[in-house]
Amino acid sequence: MEFLESLNDAQRKAVEHINGPAMIIAGAGSGKTRVLTFKIAYLIYKGIDPFNILSLTFTNKAAKEMKERIASSVGESYAKNLWMGTFHSVFAKILRIEHQKIGFPSNFTIYDTDDSKSLIKTLLKDMNLDPKVYKPGLVYNRISSAKNNLISANEYSKNSAIISEDTRSSKPLIYELYKKYQNKLLRAGAMDFDDLLFKTNELLRDDPQVLHKYQNKFKYIMVDEFQDTNFSQFTILKRLAALFENITVVGDDAQSIYAFRGANIQNILNFNKTYPDAEVFRLEQNYRSTQNIVNAANSVISKNKEQLKKTVWTQNDVGEKIRVFRNNSDQEEGMAIANEIFRLNNETHLDFESYAILYRTNAQSRALEEALRKSDIPYRIYGGLSFYQRKEIKDLLGYFRVTLNPNDEEAIKRIINFPVRGIGKTTIDKMVLAATENDTGLWQVLTDPIGYNCNLNGPTVAKIRSFADLIKSFRIIIEKESAYDSGQKIAASSGLLKEFYADKSAEGLSRYENIQELLAGLKEFSEDQKEQGLPNGLADFMSEVALLSDQDNTADDQKEKVTLMTIHAAKGLEFPYVFVAGLEENLFPSQLSINSREDLEEERRLFYVALTRAKKRVHVSYALTRFKWGNLIYCEPSRFIEDISEEFLDYPYLENQTQRFHEYTKKQQPSISIPSNAPKPYSPPRNLKKLSSSSPSNFEGSPSELIITGAEVEHQRFGKGKVLQVEGQSPNKKATVFFQGIGQKQLLLKFAKLKVL
DNA sequence: TAATGTAGAGTTTTT
DNA sequence: CTCTACATTA
């Protein structure tokens, strides 16, 4: 066990602790992950069966990396028996095993946030509620936080405090929505993210046999990022650990930055109350950053009231002070950072991947990107729309979902008329109505439209039948074929591949590429699973995919590129040089946080996280003016800059510059007008199209019989074009026309006026 | 049914 | 400003 030699005293003690509850408070950069992996390896060396170890992490990526590290230390054959993953993925797995006990199919669907919100929208329509008052996002958050606090729909409706809170915000019927929402999920054989934890809690609470089974299986439990767990998660832990109490949690209260989505910092602050015998280990030596960075970060976090006692220190060099950049505008801020990176790079000859620019909101990336582009500095930006949220990906996954679970109504609605097969809104509404009246699901109606008496005409019934048959044929395919083969066939037979292939616009091209990428992922999955002798069907793929995120796709193309990301996304990462941009009041700290101490403290922890990402030097910057939604606004430097003790700051111009700024703004007030000498951003001319399309309309179309393949035609708006194809029967005759300079368009002849030339 | 127009909203994010 | 969701129009 010579690996223990490489640990410091505190780390080694934490690793060697085996029995009983333990809390490891791990300061930033203190080698937390190393301790956790070593501890698991140590348990295995001590003869504990990996089969009895459960290790929970914040992301799948973290789990995967840790598993690999353990495998390289104790051997693959041991490591593969470890249960390792996020709360959601581990307990989804268990719920699939125990599905009968909770009344769900084993291949239940996991609804993502979009599915949930769309379901809430349809419920609002049913109940005739105004979606402007009952904003789906708000309703969802309300239900989500109830679930995270283990309040069922029934308990919710009986909780007077909650009801009166909802009434005060003029949304008294949320309890009703919650109930209906759960009913719909049950009927759809679906769970949302919170349900995965909620149902696990119910299962462990109500079924002593199941509880006993998993208590005995998971004799040793490790939890990473414990500061970001919520009540529901902690309750699961308490239940599972109740028998042996071999639970080790690792975390840093100073880095708790996810309260806004239900994480409860009290879990870590009060761990000792739940487990009075818990041994507490403090990892306080920082191996990452210079003394100046560590001390500056400490001075910031000390302004928070709620925290566990610890003193992070380092033996590293003193290093340089935190540099403060003051700028007149967000553009200038970007240029200042770009210039500094350029200068540093000449000086140090480091790769561009040594630099990160961190910010509070994604919207800030634009000005920064522009500056980097102008300076020819390569960068990679994280965030934005994730791969799995893209339309085309959700479309294909929608087909997979319906195939696996035809009760998945959100997925049915997504794909039933995409690609278009003539089943429109009216038809769907009729069938939904029939389903509601007969107290059944949409799929049942789809498979027997006549039996349910939906008042549909013959051709429509035929279209519905052929859609149902299509799905049924997919069900046969996935019975015996691999995920890849099934996926390939479904993508082709559904018409999706053709649909995206036909679209030759830039967007269409990238959509097609994304579909291909997903199929490539399926292929990789199928082959990997087969190699390992594991099941490789579509169902197996789908049971994992709902819980994956972009960060799990370890794309290694960030080499030689500057990293741009939000501070949240930077958690757990490190860079030699870090730029924290936009340190302005109402931006960082965010405007929404400055009214409560708790929220403000969370923002301050976020700043702490930002500072402690850096190894060598930190630059913080702010702008005096910034464009927000097209308007120039004036900004004040963030209070967080003053939270850094002056001795660690390099703030050359602080006094005279800010003073000048204040004089300047005073002069301008009270009329908030843009001074003529203020920098104006470049904005390209817009709405050119509008000007060219406003001609009076006395345009006559030719009769549809004259519109034939090959004909040269003219359209009022699109101009001259050539008919490539005509399909369908009058009055639903459709022509595909190629217009010069515009591209291919599909037009319904009963609407579009086309003149034959 | 599909393209186009318009109103409204707009932290942080993983599962 | 920019994106999205819904209504409108052909």
The strand C neighbours among A residues 539-598, by Cβ under 7 Å, are: none
What pLDDT is stored for residue A149 in this prediction?
94
Confidence of residue A745 (pLDDT cuts 50, 70, 90): low
With 80 as the cut, is the pLDDT of residue A718 above it?
A: no
The spacing between the Cα labelled CA in A425 and the C1' in C7, in angstroms, equals: 14
A452 three-class SS: coil
What pLDDT is stored for residue A700 in this prediction?
44
- Which is the catalytic residue, given A192, A195, A224, A228? A224
Higher per-residue confidence, A681 vs A667: A667
H or E element that contains A201:
helix A193-206
With 60 as the cut, is the pLDDT of residue A267 above it?
A: yes
DSSP A654-710: HHHHHHHHHHHHHHH-SS----TTS---------HHHHHT-----PPPPPGGG--TT
What pLDDT is stored for residue A662 in this prediction?
42
Confidence of residue A383 (pLDDT cuts 50, 70, 90): confident
Q: Is A59 part of the annotated catalytic residue set?
A: no
Using an 8 Å Cβ cutoff, are A115 and A401 in contact? no
With 50 as the cut, is the pLDDT of residue A690 above it?
A: no
Using an 8 Å Cβ cutoff, are A338 and A379 in contact? no
**Closest-lying nucleotide for A750 based on CA to C1':** C10
CB proximity list for A430: less than 8 A, separation 6 or greater: A454, A455, A456
What pLDDT is stored for residue A306 in this prediction?
82
The spacing between the Cα labelled CA in A269 and the C1' in C5, in angstroms, equals: 43
What pLDDT is stored for residue A131 in this prediction?
84
A753 touches strand C (CB under 7 A): yes
CB proximity list for A410: less than 8 A, separation 6 or greater: A111, A115, A118, A119, A188, A190
For residue A321, give the amino acid letter: K
pLDDT (average), residues A408-412: 91
pLDDT digits (tens, 9 = 90+) for A287-342: 999 999 999 999 999 999 888 888 999 999 999 999 999 999 999 999 999 999 99
What pLDDT is stored for residue A491 in this prediction?
93
The strand C neighbours among A residues 594-653, by Cβ under 7 Å, are: 627, 629-630
What pLDDT is stored for residue A435 in this prediction?
87
What pLDDT is stored for residue A261 in this prediction?
83
What pLDDT is stored for residue A558 in this prediction?
54
Distance CA(A694)–CA(A206), nearest Å, equals 68
Q: What is the pTM of this model?
A: 0.82
Distance CA(A111)–CA(A109), nearest Å, equals 6
A481-495, A528-542, A742-756: lowest mean pLDDT where?
Answer: A742-756
- Which is the catalytic residue, given A16, A33, A585, A636? A33
Confidence of residue A678 (pLDDT cuts 50, 70, 90): very low
With 50 as the cut, is the pLDDT of residue A415 above it?
A: yes
A713 three-class SS: strand
Q: Is A290 part of the annotated catalytic residue set?
A: no
On average, the pLDDT of chain A sits at 84
Higher per-residue confidence, A79 vs A732: A79
Confidence of residue A40 (pLDDT cuts 50, 70, 90): very high
What pLDDT is stored for residue A507 in this prediction?
72
pLDDT (average), residues A545-556: 65
What pLDDT is stored for residue A659 in this prediction?
40
For residue A667, give the amino acid letter: K
A238-277 in b/e burial notation, b at 16+ Cβ within 10 A? ebbbeebebbbbbbbbbbbbbbeebbbbebbeebeeebee
pLDDT (average), residues A517-534: 90
Distance CA(A367)–CA(A632), nearest Å, equals 14
What pLDDT is stored for residue A198 in this prediction?
97
What pLDDT is stored for residue A1 in this prediction?
65
Using an 8 Å Cβ cutoff, are A494 and A415 in contact? yes
With 80 as the cut, is the pLDDT of residue A423 above it?
A: yes
Q: Which of A56-65, A119-128, A464-473, A654-663 has the highest mean pLDDT?
A: A464-473
With 50 as the cut, is the pLDDT of residue A654 above it?
A: no
A89-93, A264-268, A588-592, A753-757: lowest mean pLDDT where?
Answer: A753-757
Higher per-residue confidence, A54 vs A514: A54
Higher per-residue confidence, A576 vs A667: A576
What pLDDT is stored for residue A549 in this prediction?
66
With 90 as the cut, is the pLDDT of residue A102 above it?
A: yes
Using an 8 Å Cβ cutoff, are A582 and A623 in contact? yes
